[in-house]
Amino acid sequence: MAKNILVIDDDGMVTKSLCRLLEKSGFSTETSENGVDAIELIKNTHIDMIIADIRLPGINGVETVKKIKEIIKGKHKHDVPVIFITGYSDAQINAEAQTMGDLILKPFDNQKILEKINSYI
């Protein structure tokens, strides 16, 4: 069974290209354009990994991932690895993101992100 990766990004082009890359590499994907929808999605969906943009409308990616991890922990499931992606340099939020997972800057190299994903799953 293919590993399921949740991609959270409000940029449709990034989401489409990332999902296409992941699916060609044998992964299945779930997508969300914002944190609120991602949190709702996770309540009824199994995921093996999260790739989240830091800057999202409403609740940011770091807060979204915190809430998702709480839900997963509440279900007594294992923690999931996280890769944050961002096109912005905000030292404080980037440092906070790195306490929960890896940080890759946009535009990212497809091979590099695949290597990082494969190292986790």
The residue segments making up the domain with residue 22 are: 4-120
Q: What is the pLDDT of residue 74?
A: 87
Count the domains in the chain. Answer: 1
Predicted structure pTM score: 0.94
Q: What is the pLDDT of residue 16?
A: 97
Contacts of 79 (CB under 8 A, 6+ apart): 69, 72, 73
Per-residue tens of pLDDT for the chain, all 121 residues: 789 999 999 999 999 999 999 999 999 999 999 999 999 999 999 999 999 999 999 999 999 999 999 999 988 778 899 999 998 878 899 999 999 999 999 988 999 999 999 999 8
- CATH code, 90: 3.40.50.2300
Q: What is the pLDDT of residue 77?
A: 79
Q: How many CB atoms lie within 10 A of CB 36?
A: 15
Q: What is the pLDDT of residue 88?
A: 83
